[in-house]
Amino acid sequence: MLTQHKIRQVDLFNMWDKLCSLHIQWDAALRRTESLKLKCEKNAIKNIVITGMGGSAMSGDILHRLVAGCCPVPIEINRSYSVPAYVNEQTLFIAISYSGDTEETLEAFKTALKRKAQIISITTGGELAKLTPPKSDLLLLPPDSTPRTSFGHLFVSLWRIFDILKLCTNGFGNVKEAAGFIEEQINLFSNLTENDALELAGDIQDTLPIIYSNGTTLLAVNNRLRNQFHENAKILAYGNFLPEMNHNEIVGWERIIHLTGKVSCILLRDESDHYTTKQRMEVTRELIEPHAVIFKEVQSAGNSLLERVLYLMIYGDFLTYYLAILNETDPTPITKIDLLKTQLAVIKPPK
């Protein structure tokens, strides 16, 4: 049985407290942005580009899926050094870098500046804060965490921008009242005696998790869960979505004898799943389940799309955290990313 003593032995950087305080972070972000005023011209916005990498960009992914049915202008999430060719003075360009020093984001940001896009920067400081011109908007975050444990700060800041500019409605849920729901889920998944996420972590130990979901409302949640497996548990994870995988990937399950006993499957489900996609999920399970160590369906819970998305995200955060602890792996360090950045730092760009 997992105990707090065991958690403290492994979790040397105390990610536990960060996971358990998301509702506090959420409320703090709401208060911090309550009186926010923006300099950009709403009527000039014809498209939106949100640029960032990793956990910094994930808030954009989540919000993009939530507002897909109500935002009056197209949104693109940009994970690159470059920017789309259409970026110009009619673009709302939101640069998100928790550290403020993400090189891909900075280069894209500089290009957007040259294209005279309307700029909003979200960061804790660094070069992004220094380079954001006075005529543009700068939202500063508290520098007390990591991108993957700062979702409340990042998402609420981004949502506040959309809300002020009337680029979304609250049809997906009430952001201002979500902290109470978040706290309830944290209490649920931090209970070490009765906990579905902890049980699943034990079931998928020493396997390659494959995550499936719909390709609309849960697409970003699927992607985030894979990233949390990578960064928290330090294991590879793979994912895809339905119905697309029914047109190609499903065939790949025919010859996986070399993976026997090594693959687990997690299917994320939500009431927004298209009625035919629901049927496809049932048939897909019948075809895949015999080849997986475990096939687990995780049904979302909540009274709105926002709450259901948050439920699955919190479930995934604790699932990947528990897997790290069970594998005696500290969930916070990202050694290979740090090594990669160190080696890249000595490479001189072409003149």
Instruction: List beta partners, residue 128.
Output: none
Say if 314 falls within a structural domain.
yes
Do 287 and 222 share a structural domain? yes
109 pLDDT exceeds 80?
Answer: yes
Q: Exposed, middle or buried by CB within 10 Å (0-12, 13-18, 19+), for 141?
A: buried
Do 312 and 195 share a structural domain? yes
257 confidence band (pLDDT: 50, 70, 90): confident
Do 44 and 112 share a structural domain? yes
Identify the domain boundary among 112, 140, 172: 172
305 pLDDT exceeds 70?
Answer: yes
36 confidence band (pLDDT: 50, 70, 90): very high
CB atoms within 10 A of CB 61: 18
User: Per the omega criterion (within 30 degrees of 0), is the bond before 243 cis?
Assistant: yes
Say if 147 falls within a structural domain.
yes
Lowest mean pLDDT among 8-17, 103-112, 165-174, 329-338: 165-174
Do 237 and 143 share a structural domain? no
- 234 included as an active-site residue: no
CB atoms within 10 A of CB 318: 26
Lowest mean pLDDT among 120-134, 157-171, 265-279, 295-309: 157-171
Calculate mean pLDDT across residues 90-108: 96
Which of these is catalytic: 247, 258, 348, 351? 247
Say if 158 falls within a structural domain.
yes
Instruction: Measure the CA–CA gap between 7 and 328, rounded to whole angstroms.
Output: 9
Q: What is the pLDDT of residues 66-82, one digit of tens each?
A: 999 889 999 999 999 99
Q: What is the pLDDT of residues 114-143, one digit of tens each?
A: 999 999 999 999 999 999 999 999 999 998
Per-chain mean pLDDT for the chain:
95
Lowest mean pLDDT among 88-102, 149-163, 176-190, 331-345: 331-345
Which of these is catalytic: 42, 116, 166, 341? 341
Do 130 and 63 share a structural domain? yes
Do 80 and 37 share a structural domain? yes
Q: What is the pLDDT of residues 43-62, one digit of tens each?
A: 999 999 999 999 999 999 99
Single-letter amino acid code for the residue at 347: I
Q: What is the pLDDT of residues 313-346, one digit of tens each?
A: 999 999 999 999 999 999 998 888 888 888 887 8
- 247 included as an active-site residue: yes
pLDDT of residue 126: 96
Do 266 and 240 share a structural domain? yes
Residue 212 belongs to what domain range?
190-326
32 pLDDT exceeds 90?
Answer: yes
Instruction: Measure the CA–CA gap between 138 and 77, rounded to whole angstroms.
Output: 19
Instruction: Measure the CA–CA gap between 40 and 116, rounded to whole angstroms.
Output: 12
Calculate mean pLDDT across residues 244-269: 95
Domains in the chain, number: 2
pTM: 0.95
pLDDT of residue 29: 97
pLDDT of residue 170: 64
Say if 62 falls within a structural domain.
yes
Do 208 and 166 share a structural domain? no
The order of strands in the sheet holding 91-97 is 75-78, 47-51, 91-97, 118-123, 137-140
Do 134 and 204 share a structural domain? no
Choose among 211, 270, 199, 267: nearest CA to 235: 211
Tell me the C-alpha to C-alpha distance, in Å, between residue 181 and each of 176, 177, 185, 309, 315: 11, 8, 6, 11, 13
- 89 included as an active-site residue: no
Do 109 and 67 share a structural domain? yes
Do 153 and 43 share a structural domain? yes
351 confidence band (pLDDT: 50, 70, 90): low
What's 203's domain CATH number?
3.40.50.10490
Which of these is catalytic: 104, 127, 231, 307? 231
Do 156 and 194 share a structural domain? no
